[in-house]
Structure 1
């Protein structure tokens, strides 16, 4: 099975998606490493950014993928050799070109405003011209399934014109995304019997069945699938290659990439999402954070005996992990599985386990949420087993905020901590009270634990738990932190948002120090850090 990625072109037509030239280069390199066969870089004749990408990528050797330029057939009544769009494809310097042409008679007469015969000439002339210039040529039959349903004979004549001109691939496009899997299967099977050129499928997701349509087309004889990473694209998006690839390889027996490359699927999905500045849904199939998360006690108990009871594949095959959620629905199985998952070696008797579960349920009743704050849960389990060292404690903190009529509001926090028997008193400014508190706490601790300087706050969320309480309502603060590529979440709950934030911030640092294996005896601060207020 051949994989054709159009994230860098079709994907960028999605609302809110914008990639710089450097972004596109990074994604192209990652796609090549993953084993994608064709990487569509853009439309050279449409904008300077795409031409800049093709100029840059020429200088970078790829190990597997063939960079492809996208364009259209020549214009009506213009010879292919004189068409600026086709000349731009050749000037891009790539060895493969994908050109789309009309296969729906409605588009020929109403959109192109030309005749059916002239459209056939445009297809044949364009493919011939690109082949004469030594390019691997893919003909994309735009709106093919709508065209076939409206006028099957003409739609096939368009494909035959491309085949006779020497196209290497003929790709059938469900451009409006309105077809259903049964229609896709029947039409692709019929086309397969009429042509000898290998077929590809290019479905869109407007009906929510793009993945099913791609699989149906492949089972009917298509040998190439065109889509994007995470399904980004215009309107409802393109088919999601992240879902198509494991379905093809693990369930239908097709070879797409090596087993080692398939294990990079989850990281590929998250890498592209990060560059595109998009948030992946937790429940995204295969690679989502919740794709292999188990919450109900009965489910967890069964999964721990045999994962096949509630998992359709082994998560490690596509680079994801199994997660056990501990919440008010948890039983002892959840707790024991969570300790195993977190590699916490606790030998708890059944009564101890029940006490911890009861504590978790009580705290969740108060508003804590541990399934979204696994770092806080880890600390809670360690403390219950007496294995958590108390490296620092809070003596007090104060927040000062000032708003002057001619100045923006300013925030200052002072923090007094006890660290290894020493009292450290620091102050810091911030662009808000929580930021000031974070800065002051870091200033107090960084001299003792230098690793804190490399820890960053990645996300901060506040949730009101009691809407009837108005401004006095209890709130839950969730903080996500990152360090050397790893991320973790912590939680705090209070009727005071600052106190809840402090709890989550402190847990975040305590978790990092536990991960780094910090010991009380290791603390050796410089002499000037032991006394007084550190100026800010």
Structure 2
């Protein structure tokens, strides 16, 4: 109650009341039993509401708490008019099926909003968050790049990627998707971390296609190997052609981008040259472009044309290859 009173005095619009409910936290953190937690929670919530403020009540370590204790506590705070209850996978132990079952059960117990908070220790935070929404949760805690305690919590970008696949028009109307990369870059710079190469949407590999079989299909119809449209996020796809795995369709596209003209057989021939060099050493775009340009140049040398000559010591001398 003392903490709640101090918080109210700061002039906030609402308070989040949270306490650990698992046996681990009750024994080793605050030392309170469930009877005390329920009694005190009701007192604090009633006080906050008497001040005309919004209040959320959340358990901590919800998925290692006793289900009967948990539902009894939530039912009690819902009756006194809490605006929102929260469940938290504080240690990241929950599976998507566990999340769905708990949220679905809780949805039948309380009439208020349900917020969820998932840590990513076992790599399930995005899947758990999505299952919570399917089960009736109304709010998901996220952070930019998933930054948080230990492995962090549900990442904003990853959850948006999951949501936009299922409800594209709704998500596009509600969020400025083209600003996702900007905010992730800003946060990454501020906290001095790198955006993971395989980060959903904004990782530099997210819309990069390398294998020949993928590249051909992508060039024909991007939806063959892309469930997300990079244009929705203000981004573009990249078909990687400077690789030993490249296919001739990707090289053909690059030939056109360079403003050159080749037949399919010629493109296949220059593709073999690119792959051969890439087998020897890593190559960059400039290396592949150089091979393409040099090959194109040899195609347009006119056979049978007299070689240029110059005069040396009073005699005409044929110059090989124009040198």
Distance 1:96 1:385, change over 3 A: farther
**Cα deviation per residue 1:21-56 (whole Å; 9 max; x = unaligned)?**
xxxxxxxxxxxxxxxxxxxxxxxxxxxxxxxxxxxx
Give 2:56's aligned residue.
Answer: 138
Give 1:330's aligned residue.
Answer: 246
Residues of 1 paired with 2:252 and 2:6: CA distance?
62
Aligned residues of 1:246 and 1:318 also touching (Cα < 8 A): no
Q: Does 1:114 align with 2:32?
A: yes
Return the TM-score normalized by structure 1: 0.51
Q: Does 1:226 align with 2:145?
A: no
Give 1:368's aligned residue.
Answer: 282
Give 1:7's aligned residue.
Answer: none
Residues of 2 paired with 1:256 and 1:299: CA distance?
28
Residues of 1 paired with 2:48 and 2:161: CA distance?
34
Residues of 2 paired with 1:167 and 1:255: CA distance?
28
Residues of 1 paired with 2:51 and 2:291: CA distance?
67
Aligned residues of 1:231 and 1:241 also touching (Cα < 8 A): yes
Task: Flag the structure with higher strand content.
Answer: 1
Instruction: Return 5+ residue gaps in structure 2 as ranges.
Output: 298-323
Aligned residues of 1:259 and 1:317 also touching (Cα < 8 A): no
SS of equivalent to 1:134: coil
Q: 2:163 is matched with which residue: 244, 248, 267?
A: 248
Distance 1:277 1:375, change over 3 A: farther
Aligned residues of 1:184 and 1:213 also touching (Cα < 8 A): yes
Give 1:353's aligned residue.
Answer: 267
Aligned length: 296
Residues of 1 paired with 2:59 and 2:23: CA distance?
12
Instruction: Return 5+ residue gaps in structure 1 as ranges.
Output: 1-79, 387-536
Aligned residues of 1:324 and 1:337 also touching (Cα < 8 A): no
Aligned residues of 1:123 and 1:161 also touching (Cα < 8 A): no
Give 1:321's aligned residue.
Answer: 236
Distance 1:273 1:258, change over 3 A: farther
1:140-289 to structure 2, matched below 5 A, reads: 140-147=58-65, 151-252=66-167, 255-256=170-171, 258=173, 261-289=176-204
RMSD, matched Cα: 2.6
Q: 1:129 is matched with which residue: 29, 42, 47?
A: 47
1:290-329 to structure 2, matched below 5 A, reads: 290-326=205-241, 327-329=243-245
1:502-521 to structure 2, matched below 5 A, reads: none
Larger radius of gyration: 2
